[in-house]
Amino acid sequence: MARIAKVIDLPSIIKLNKAEGKISAQLIQILREAVQQGNLQAGDPLPASRELAKTLGIARGTIIETYDQLIAEGVLEARARQGTFVSHILKSPSSQAISIQSIDSDNLTDAAQAYAQIFKEFKPLAHRPFAVSVPIGRTQPRDVWRKFGNRFRACGVAAPSGYDDPQGVYALRSAIADYVRRSRSVQCEPEQIVITSGIQQALYLCSQILLTKHDAVWVEDPAYRGTTAILENSLQHLQISRVPVDEDGILVHTGIELAPHARAAFVTPSHQYPLGMPMSLARRAELVEWAKQQRAWIIEDDYDSELRYIGQPFPALHAMAPDRVIYLGTFSKVLFPSLRLGYAVLPKVLVAAFCGLRALIDRHPPSADQHVLGAFIQEGYLERHIRRIRHVYAENRQQIIQLIDRYIPKTQAFIESGDQGMHMVLWFANSVDDLKIARLAGESGVSVKAISPTFSEASQRSGLILGLGDFDVDQLEQAIQILSKLINDEHQKNSLHPNPNL
Ligand SMILES: Cc1ncc(COP(=O)(O)O)c(C=O)c1O
C-alpha cells in the first residue's frame, strides 16, 4: 500500500486578519510562534506553497515570501525535491517542554500535585517476569480475536458510526448478562449493566455517585491501590476506615467498631487483593446483614475470580443482596488489560446516574471493541479461552513456586498459600524494604511490585507481588535468581546493621 506522507495541517494553526493587511508579516509571526511553542516541531513537513495559498485564499507569492524569510532565519529548511520542513537544528521540543513544566509546577493545586504522584505510582511495569496481566504466549487470545475484529470492523456492526449509548453496546451487555449468570451466579438483565473502561473507571464512578463528603467508607486492609488512591483523592473529608482481613476475609465486627454507619464497603470477596483468600460464607452473611441494616452499598470487585486452579471459582457475593451490591467485573485479566473493558452490574435505581457520569467523563467506551467482545463471548470463545489460560497459569504458578523453593531460603522469604488468581505474594521473613527491592529488581530487568503500598500505615508488611505471565522457564529462572540475590544482599545488610526502629 502506498505510504501517505505526513503533512502538518497548517490552516488550523493559521488565523489571518486579512483586513489588517501585511499578510506575509502575519504569516511569518504565526509560524515563528508555532515553532517556538512546539506546535510545529523539528522535521515537520509544511504544505506545498500552491496548496497552502489555495486553502488560505491568498497569493502563492505571499507563501513563497514567508517560507523564504523563515528559511533565512533558520526556522525552516528547504530540501531539494522534498519540500519545506521545520528546521532540524532547532531546540528540541522536549527541552522546551521541560522548561515550561518547571515554570508551571509552582502554580499547581494540591489535587494536581497528588495526581502527578499517582501517575508515577501507576506507570505500568515492563512486560517481563513478573508483570501482572501480560497476555503473551499461550495466554494470548488466539486468531479468532483478530478474525472477529476484521469481520466486524470492515463493514459490520463495529464499522465507524456516530455516538453510541453511554451505557455500552446492548449486544455486549446482553452477552455479559448471560456470562455472569453462568459463570458467577450473578442474576441480572442487560439493562442493569454499564460497560466501563475497566474496573478502575467503575471504582471511580462508585466513589462519585455513592459517596458524599464526610461519609465513612470501609476498605479492606490491605487493598488494591487503585481503590485507596481514588478514595484518598477524589472526595474531600471522606473518612476512610481501613478494615483488617483475616483468613475469612474482611473483619466485619471491626468495621462496625470503626465506622458503624459507613456508606459503603469496598471488598474483593472471591479473591482478596492482594492476599488471595476468598471471603467465607459466614463473613459474607455478616457483611450483607450490616449493609442491609445500614442501607450501605457493598462494592464487590471481582477482578480475577475466574482463575481458580483447584475446583470451581467461588460464587459472587452479589446473589446474597442484589439490591445492595454493585458487582464489578473486568476483561483485563481473562483477556488483556489494554482492551480497557469492564462492567458494573447495578441495582436498577443507580443505572441512570452511572450512565450520566459516564457520559460526562468520556461519553462511552469505544464501540468497535465492544462489538468484537460481545460476539467473542456470545459465540462461546471467552469461556474456552478461560479454560485454556487457567491451565497455563496453574502451570506457571507451579513453576515459580518450584524456582522460589530452589533459590530463595525460607528464612528470607516465603510464599502466601493460595489456589487462584494471576499473581502470588512472596513475603519477606524480616523487615526488608520491599520498595527498594522492587526498584532494584526493575533496574536488573525483573518487574515486581512491592506489597507495602497496599497496606495502611498502621499495619505495614513487606513483600512482593509476582504476576504469573506466560514467560518461558529460562526467563522465570533468571528472574528468580536475580530476586534471590537482591533479597539475600538486603537480608545480609539487615543482619549486620539491624534497624533500631523496627
Ligand atoms: C483488585 C483489582 N481491582 C481492580 C483492578 C483494575 O482492573 P482494570 O481497570 O484493568 O479492569 C485491578 C487491576 O490490577 C485489581 O488488581
Q: What is the pLDDT of residues 124-180, one digit of tens each?
A: 999 999 998 777 778 888 788 999 898 888 778 888 889 999 999 999 999 999 999
- CATH number of domain containing 201: 3.40.640.10
Q: In the predicted model, what is the mean pLDDT of the chain?
A: 90
Indicate the top mutation candidate among 330, 425, 449, 468 to test ligand 1's pocket, ranked by most ligand atoms within 8 A of CB. Answer: 330
Do 319 and 215 belong to one domain? Answer: yes
Residues 6+ apart with CB under 8 A from 271: 277, 278, 303, 304, 305, 308, 314, 420, 421
For range 408-431, the mean pLDDT:
89
Closest ligand 1 atom to Cα of 273: 1
Angle at 7 between CA 75 and CA 163, to 5 degrees: 130
Q: Is 249 helix (H, G, I), strand (E, B) or coil?
A: strand
- Tell me which of 258-272, 320-334, 410-424 is least confident: 410-424
Indicate the top mutation candidate among 231, 267, 332 to test ligand 1's pocket, ranked by most ligand atoms within 8 A of CB. Answer: 332
Closest ligand 1 atom to Cα of 331: 11
Closest ligand 1 atom to Cα of 132: 14
Do 374 and 414 belong to one domain? Answer: no
In a domain, 120, yes or no: no
Do 209 and 319 belong to one domain? Answer: yes
Residue 164 structural domain? 140-383
| Cβ of 224 less than 6 Å from ligand 1 | yes
In a domain, 102, yes or no: no
Distance CA 127, CA 481 (A): 18
In a domain, 111, yes or no: no
Q: Of 45, 65, 86, which residue is a domain's last?
A: 86
- CATH number of domain containing 14: 1.10.10.10
Do 340 and 235 belong to one domain? Answer: yes
Cell numbers standing for residue 382: 471467552
Q: Of 327, 361, 383, which residue is a domain's last?
A: 383
| Cβ of 313 less than 6 Å from ligand 1 | no
- How many domains does the chain divide into? 3
**CB-based contact 144:273 (threshold 8 Å):** no
- Residue of the nearest CA to atom 3 in ligand 1? 303
Do 392 and 365 belong to one domain? Answer: no
The pLDDT confidence band at residue 330, using thresholds 50, 70 and 90, is: very high
| Cβ of 337 less than 6 Å from ligand 1 | yes
The pLDDT confidence band at residue 497, using thresholds 50, 70 and 90, is: low
Residues 6+ apart with CB under 8 A from 158: 149, 152, 367, 368, 369, 370, 371, 372
| Cβ of 164 less than 6 Å from ligand 1 | no
- Residue of the nearest CA to atom 7 in ligand 1? 199
Distance CA 348, CA 294 (A): 19
In a domain, 91, yes or no: no
The pLDDT confidence band at residue 498, using thresholds 50, 70 and 90, is: low
| Cβ of 196 less than 6 Å from ligand 1 | no
The pLDDT confidence band at residue 4, using thresholds 50, 70 and 90, is: low
For range 217-243, the mean pLDDT:
95
| Cβ of 200 less than 6 Å from ligand 1 | yes
- Structure letter (DSSP) for residue 339: G
Q: Does 432 have pLDDT greater than 50?
A: yes
Report how far Cα 218 is from the mean position of its chain's Cα atoms: 23
The pLDDT, as a whole number, for residue 100 is 46
SS3 content of the chain, % helix, strand, coil (to 5): 50, 15, 40
The listed range with the strongest mean pLDDT (8-22, 139-153, 487-501) is 139-153
| Cβ of 93 less than 6 Å from ligand 1 | no
The pLDDT, as a whole number, for residue 1 is 47
Q: Does 101 have pLDDT greater than 60?
A: no
Bridge partners for 329 per DSSP: 343
The pLDDT, as a whole number, for residue 489 is 93
CB under 8 A, 24+ apart: contacts of 375-378 = 375/148, 375/152, 375/171, 375/175, 376/141, 376/144, 376/145, 376/148, 377/172, 377/175, 377/176, 377/178, 377/179, 378/171, 378/174, 378/175, 378/178
For range 58-72, the mean pLDDT:
89
Do 248 and 348 belong to one domain? Answer: yes
In a domain, 128, yes or no: no
Q: Of 342, 368, 383, which residue is a domain's last?
A: 383
In a domain, 1, yes or no: no
CA–centroid distance, residue 273 to ligand 1 (Å): 9
The alpha carbons of the chain give a radius of gyration, in whole angstroms, of 28
The per-residue pLDDT for range 364-399, each reduced to its tens digit, is 999 999 999 999 999 999 999 999 998 888 899 999
In a domain, 127, yes or no: no
Q: Is 414 helix (H, G, I), strand (E, B) or coil?
A: strand
Q: Is 167 helix (H, G, I), strand (E, B) or coil?
A: coil
Indicate the top mutation candidate among 205, 219, 220, 224 to test ligand 1's pocket, ranked by most ligand atoms within 8 A of CB. Answer: 224
Do 371 and 453 belong to one domain? Answer: no
Do 164 and 300 belong to one domain? Answer: yes
Secondary structure (DSSP) of 85-150: EE-TTSPPHHHHHHHHHHHHGGG--HHHHHHHHHHHHTPPPPSSTT-SS---GGGS--HHHHHHHH
Do 161 and 185 belong to one domain? Answer: yes
Cell numbers standing for residue 38: 512546539
For range 207-219, the mean pLDDT:
96
Do 307 and 251 belong to one domain? Answer: yes
- CATH number of domain containing 409: 3.90.1150.10
Do 361 and 397 belong to one domain? Answer: no
Cell numbers standing for residue 311: 475446583
Grid cell 508515577 — which residue?
120
Distance between start and end Cα atoms, the chain: 65
Do 167 and 264 belong to one domain? Answer: yes
Closest ligand 1 atom to Cα of 301: 3
Q: Does 82 have pLDDT greater than 90?
A: no
Indicate the top mutation candidate among 303, 331, 343, 424 to test ligand 1's pocket, ranked by most ligand atoms within 8 A of CB. Answer: 303
| Cβ of 226 less than 6 Å from ligand 1 | yes
- Residue of the nearest CA to atom 13 in ligand 1? 303
The pLDDT confidence band at residue 21, using thresholds 50, 70 and 90, is: confident
Closest ligand 1 atom to Cα of 201: 9
